[in-house]
Chains A and B, each alone.
Chain A
């Protein structure tokens, strides 16, 4: 099973990113990433720039709506995403708990929609 992790981070987390590679924020993420690689769970992912850079696109009543900002305003922002390959939802929740953002923000876990994905990427 592949699971998508939507990683919500606090303003402090975002600010810590610029503090250099030795900052605990980066060190914790580096360690978590290594542990995921070692466990063979990591498929992909990337940190995102802050929500101020987000643009949300939707179509309503046949009209394209482009909104400046993230889809939903919350105190925590979507800070990144990962796709992990794990045997069960229990294993996915275990890895979500180990994610540094779980302590400061939240991690939303969702199964990847494989049929939809295949339909989209099919030649």
Chain B
């Protein structure tokens, strides 16, 4: 029995990002590296079943892909700008590659390229998913509600720009690091999709990308273990992911956080999240993702049967909003204040949010409706419920709100 196709698949899935990042780090040409790696995978599928699986499958693929890159560059030799990369590649392909540890992991650098300021921020996340994780354009398009062909074109254009702009494959120097790292973390968080399940506004489009987002955060964490915000983001996503099974009933109905059964939460994920958050806190450099993770950590304490410490949550939100006054954070802050300090205070805080900014922000209307209903302002609540229902994308959220509205 020969499991060559299976091996190609395993190597492709586990090593795709590493191989691609290493291949394009020399040339900055992501599209050519993708083509070369794709061709190498095809020839592996053709030759491994008869020749046997090489001892170092990754090294085999890397060598095959490099030869194809050299061929590609030769074919385009007439163009002056490729001389440099041809020389680089020729030098590289002469050096034998023994095993996967022999070539450096440049995936973190590739993530910094994908989230570079010259690239449209809307494409940061799709680029990361395609280059580092090897997701195809159709699946990415699905998650971002864009036709597959359109997503494909946008990605091709972005890769052309990476090459044309000469974006360096490097971890930015210390004086540039903070904003650049923030862009990388933002893009990873965007793949996660779910802002917060404290509010009935969960958008399920990217629910199936949650695992991918956590994986990307681990890639950065391994490379930059001393950056507390990286650990904070990883902790935040793990806390939220721990509740994935509890967020829906078996028949698909939406369950708000306050009604979730902590017994259905994943203890492994919570423990790992606590460890990451603890390590981040030790570094003494707080940030928005650490604060958001801290809020989720307080919610997770319900696992021990304890009550939720809403006063602590409100304090964390004050710091969070001072640091990053996003619409999502301000709406969630108002919801928390309503529990800790009374409905009227929560609503007053909600009223400070600019209505124009919140007009199509579904969680704002869901929180507003909930507070107005509990204040007995039935007619105003019904109006707000209608807005929240009308803006809902997730059918389960819509059903939940329709039932609440009554």
Question: B359 near A39 (CB under 8 angstroms)?
Answer: yes
Tell me the complex Cα distance, A17–B5, Å. Answer: 53
Among A24, A34, A90, A98, the most chain B Cβ lie within 10 Å of the Cβ of A98
From B47-55, B74-82, B393-401, give the one contacting chain A: B393-401
Question: B360 near A39 (CB under 8 angstroms)?
Answer: yes
- Is B315 interfacial (CB 8 A cutoff)? no
Collect the chain A residues with CB atoms within 8 Å of residue B317's CB.
none
Question: B359 near A90 (CB under 8 angstroms)?
Answer: no
Question: B402 near A35 (CB under 8 angstroms)?
Answer: no
With A24-B402, A94-B145 known as contacts, the answer to whether A31 contacts B385 (CB < 8 A) is: yes
Distance of B149 from chain A, by nearest CB (Å):
12
Question: A31 near B146 (CB under 8 angstroms)?
Answer: no
Question: B389 near A31 (CB under 8 angstroms)?
Answer: yes
Choice from A34, A90, A94 contacting B390 with Cβ under 8 Å: A34
| Proximity string of chain A (10-45) to chain B, C-beta cutoff 8 Å, 1 when within and 0 when not | 000000000000001001101111111011000000
Distance of A93 from chain B, by nearest CB (Å):
5
Question: B146 near A38 (CB under 8 angstroms)?
Answer: no
Distance of B343 from chain A, by nearest CB (Å):
23
Count the A-B residue pairs with Cβ separation under 8 angstroms: how many?
50
Say what secondary structure dominates the interface of chain A: helix
With A39-B359, A39-B360, A100-B398 known as contacts, the answer to whether A31 contacts B386 (CB < 8 A) is: yes
With A27-B405, A28-B398, A100-B398 known as contacts, the answer to whether A33 contacts B389 (CB < 8 A) is: no
Among A28, A94, A100, the most chain B Cβ lie within 10 Å of the Cβ of A28
Collect the chain B residues with CB atoms within 8 Å of residue A100's CB.
398
| Proximity string of chain B (355-370) to chain A, C-beta cutoff 8 Å, 1 when within and 0 when not | 0000110000000000
Choice from A27, A31, A89, A97 contacting B393 with Cβ under 8 Å: A97
Tell me the complex Cα distance, A28–B402, Å. Answer: 7
Choice from B146, B386, B389, B395 contacting A103 with Cβ under 8 Å: B395
Collect the chain B residues with CB atoms within 8 Å of residue A93's CB.
145-147
Collect the chain A residues with CB atoms within 8 Å of residue B114's CB.
none
Tell me the complex Cα distance, A15–B170, Å. Answer: 60
Question: B387 near A35 (CB under 8 angstroms)?
Answer: yes
- Is B20 interfacial (CB 8 A cutoff)? no
Collect the chain B residues with CB atoms within 8 Å of residue A89's CB.
150
| Proximity string of chain B (368-391) to chain A, C-beta cutoff 8 Å, 1 when within and 0 when not | 000000000000000001111111
- Is B392 interfacial (CB 8 A cutoff)? yes
With A27-B405, A34-B386 known as contacts, the answer to whether A98 contacts B393 (CB < 8 A) is: yes
Tell me the complex Cα distance, A97–B387, Å. Answer: 15
Distance of A22 from chain B, by nearest CB (Å):
9
Tell me the complex Cα distance, A39–B315, Å. Answer: 34
Question: B387 near A34 (CB under 8 angstroms)?
Answer: yes
Minimal Cβ-Cβ distance residue in B for A97:
B393
Distance of A66 from chain B, by nearest CB (Å):
35
Choice from B145, B390, B399 contacting A97 with Cβ under 8 Å: B145
Tell me the complex Cα distance, A98–B359, Å. Answer: 15
23 sampled A-B residue pairs with Cβ under 8 A: A24-B399, A24-B402, A31-B385, A31-B388, A31-B389, A31-B390, A32-B389, A32-B390, A33-B390, A34-B390, A35-B386, A35-B390, A35-B391, A38-B387, A39-B359, A39-B360, A89-B150, A90-B145, A97-B145, A97-B205, A97-B393, A98-B393, A103-B398
Q: Nearest 10 A-B pairs (CB), nearest first?
A: A35-B390, A31-B389, A31-B390, A103-B395, A31-B386, A32-B390, A34-B386, A97-B393, A24-B402, A35-B391
A39-B359, A97-B145 known; 20 new pairs, CB 8 Å cut-off, are A24-B399, A24-B402, A27-B389, A28-B390, A28-B398, A30-B386, A32-B389, A34-B386, A34-B390, A35-B360, A35-B386, A38-B359, A39-B360, A89-B150, A90-B145, A93-B145, A98-B390, A98-B391, A100-B398, A103-B398
What residues make up the interface of B, taking CB atoms closer than 8 Å to A? 145-147, 150, 205, 359-360, 385-393, 395, 398-399, 402, 405
